[in-house]
């Protein structure tokens, strides 16, 4: 068995890791061809990763030009505790205010654990200036160095 196969997360481990991880790094390609990487709050909706951004943000402009993106979520502070998921895929920008408000609510709930009463109107007001970034994975890589059992 190759080392890469030995440290790969199972689909269930990967899904659980992505549910628990609070931020994911979104990498787009800027107008000069360089990566533009930004930490984002997100949630997984089946295989798709959903997040929001301002409609006029650099990442939205980059996606309009080139929808190929990468997402990386990681954890660990020492080599033997490194764990992560790298998703490569295509991003779609969705400009529906109600859908965006719903995504904002799901992200808020994931990050805070609760939804305060009356927040819906505030989220809808935010959503008017924002778009949803929906990333559909085409290739997923993962790693969990704890599976090496101390043998490097």
Count CB neighbours of 116 within 10 A: 9
E strand segments, 15-146: 23-29, 35-41, 43-45, 48-54, 68-75, 83-94, 130-144
Given the DSSP bridges, would you call strands 43-45 and 35-41 parallel, antiparallel or unpaired? unpaired
Question: What distances in angstroms separate CA 98 from CA 39, 45, 79, 94, one per listed residue?
Answer: 24, 16, 43, 11
Q: Which residues contact 122 (CB under 8 A, 6 or more apart)?
A: none
Per residue of the chain (152 residues), what is the pLDDT tens digit? 576 778 999 999 999 999 999 999 999 999 999 999 999 999 999 999 999 999 999 999 999 999 999 999 999 999 999 999 999 999 999 999 999 999 999 999 898 887 777 788 888 999 999 999 999 999 999 999 988 876 66
The total number of structural domains in the chain stands at: 1
Enclosing domain of residue 133:
3-148
CATH number at residue 82: 2.30.110.10
pTM score of the predicted model: 0.91
């Amino acid at each position: 068995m190759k080392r890469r196969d030995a440290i790969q997360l199972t689909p269930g481990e990967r899904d659980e890791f992505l549910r628990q991880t609070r931020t994911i790094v979104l990498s787009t390609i800027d107008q000069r061809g360089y990566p533009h990487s930004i930490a984002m709050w997100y949630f997984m909706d089946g295989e798709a990763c959903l997040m929001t951004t301002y409609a006029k943000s650099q990442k939205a402009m980059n996606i309009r030009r080139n929808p190929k993106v990468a997402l990386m979520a990681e954890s660990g502070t020492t080599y033997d505790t490194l764990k992560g998921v790298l998703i490569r895929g295509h991003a779609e920008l969705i400009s529906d205010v109600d859908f965006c408000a719903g995504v904002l609510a799901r992200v808020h709930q994931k990050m805070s654990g609760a939804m305060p009463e009356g927040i819906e109107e505030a989220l809808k007001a935010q959503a008017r200036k924002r778009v949803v970034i929906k990333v559909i994975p085409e290739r997923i890589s993962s790693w969990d160095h704890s599976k090496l059992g101390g043998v490097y």
